[in-house]
Amino acid sequence: MKRLVAIDLPRRLAARVPRPLTEVLTGAAMVVLVGGARTLLNPLIGEGVPFAFTFLGIVLATLLAGWRAGAVALVLGILLVWYFILPERGSFTLADPEMIWWIVLTAGTQALIVFSLGVYQAEMRRGQNERTRRINFLGHALREMDHRTRNNFQIVTSLLQLQANRSASDEVKVALREAGERLQAVAAVYAALAPSSQGLAAVRLQDQLEEICSQIRRGILPDGIVLTTDLEPILVPHETAVAIGIIVNELVTNACKHAFPQGGGSIVVRCARDGDAARVEVADDGRGMPTGAARRTGLGTRLVGAFVQRVRGASDVRSSDAGTVHIVTVPLSA
């Protein structure tokens, strides 16, 4: 029923055919269609229930093209049955004058049905229009909120960078710049927010990690170091995405700073689904981690450990002279 109502032939054909013409033609076509069907079935059903098929035509015409088409089908159907089926056939003279009241009652009943369907269509379209209006409003509000959120992140990042440039302390400069980089990692999550079957809380992890890597390429990536990605599509909860974003940002940043004392090398960021978990790798072909490095207590190392625990994940580090691979596995289920 709802699909038939949604067809709305006059609206669909409005660019080529005037609406009144579509309504008249639809009403007439439905009467001809059901009249032909009745003629074919006449040997089986005889002369009984003469208005049954016109009733079907009226309903179809109303659903397809509105109440005016239904009214056209009603009038034509009544006239055709009166002329071709009711006695006297081939004439508008009735064999029994009392039959006029039967015709009037039938016409009144069918008119009530057309009216009811018209009201139903109007209410349904009003509801659809209201739903569309609300969806458009929410979409606009979401885009505006996203725009403002990104601007706010950019403003704070710029302030941190400005303060770092003005600071006389090298240690403070480094701390402020690292804070800005971490903030950019969080901002990348908002850039990857994805309406999906899981709602707005789901994030396309591959888009988020690609954005983080792009920011690193534009920002702190030293000359001679190549940063590439190998990312499979994965949807993760928002909180998980924030944690993974910060973890990857820290690992890539640390690799840029410490893995290539000679100034050249490559870093690869990978993500893939591993059963009910997301597996994220940051691998480099640098010098490897010095003995005891895994037990360092720097802020970056503590952040990685803290965010792995926060999402109930597990981490593994494999290091040799050929490079270092950090593997973080995070469950996707709540």
Average pLDDT, the chain: 83
pLDDT value at residue 302: 81
State the Cα–Cα distance between residues 221 and 43, nearest whole angstrom.
86
Determine which helix (DSSP H) or strand (DSSP E) holds 154, and give its type and residue range. Answer: helix 99-166
Bridge partners of 281, per DSSP, are 270, 327
Closest CA to 298 of 254, 265, 333: 254
Tens-place pLDDT, residues 89-118: 777 777 788 888 888 888 898 899 899 988
Residue-wise pLDDT tens digits, 215-247: 889 878 888 999 999 999 999 988 898 889 889
Q: What is the DSSP letter of 193?
A: B
- What is the average pLDDT across 281-303? 75
- Average pLDDT of span 166-195: 75
Interacting residues of 307 by C-beta distance below 8 A, sequence separation 6+? 243, 244, 246, 247
pLDDT for res 3: 62
Instruction: Report the distance separating Cα 38 and Cα 225, nearest Å.
Output: 80
Q: What is the mean pLDDT of residues 76-92?
A: 81
Whether cis (ω within 30° of 0) applies to the bond prior to 88 is yes
Q: Is the model's pLDDT at 27 over the cut of 50?
A: yes
Question: What does the pLDDT read at residue 189?
Answer: 65
Q: What is d(CA 23, CA 70) in angstroms, rounded to the nearest whole number?
A: 8
The residues pairing with 314 across neighbouring beta strands, listed in sequence order, are 329
The reported pLDDT for the residue numbered 197 is 45
Q: Are 227 and 207 in contact (CB under 8 A)?
A: no
Asked whether residue 41 carries a pLDDT value surpassing 80, the answer given is no
Task: Assess contact for 194 and 204: CB atoms under 8 A.
Answer: yes
Whole-angstrom distance, CA of residue 229 vs CA of residue 270: 6
pLDDT above 90 covers a percentage of the chain that reads: 23
Q: Where are the domains of the chain?
A: 2-133, 167-331
Beta bridge mates, 231: 271
Give the model confidence (pLDDT) of 131-165 as tens digits: 889 888 887 887 787 778 778 877 888 888 888 88
Q: The whole model's pTM is what?
A: 0.57
> In residues, how long is the chain?
334
Between CA 157 and CA 151 the distance in angstroms is 10
Q: What pLDDT score was predicted for residue 190?
A: 67
Evaluate if residue 192 carries a pLDDT over 50: yes
Helix (H, G, I), strand (E, B) or coil at 188: helix
Biggest alpha carbon distance in the chain?
Answer: 111
DSSP H or E segment with residue 30? helix 19-45
CA distance 28 to 41: 20
Q: Binning pLDDT at 50, 70 and 90, where does residue 248 land? A: very high
pLDDT surpassing 50 at residue 182: yes
Structure confidence at residue 136 (pLDDT): 87
Q: Which CATH superfamily is domain 167-331 in?
A: Histidine kinase-like ATPase, C-terminal domain (3.30.565.10)
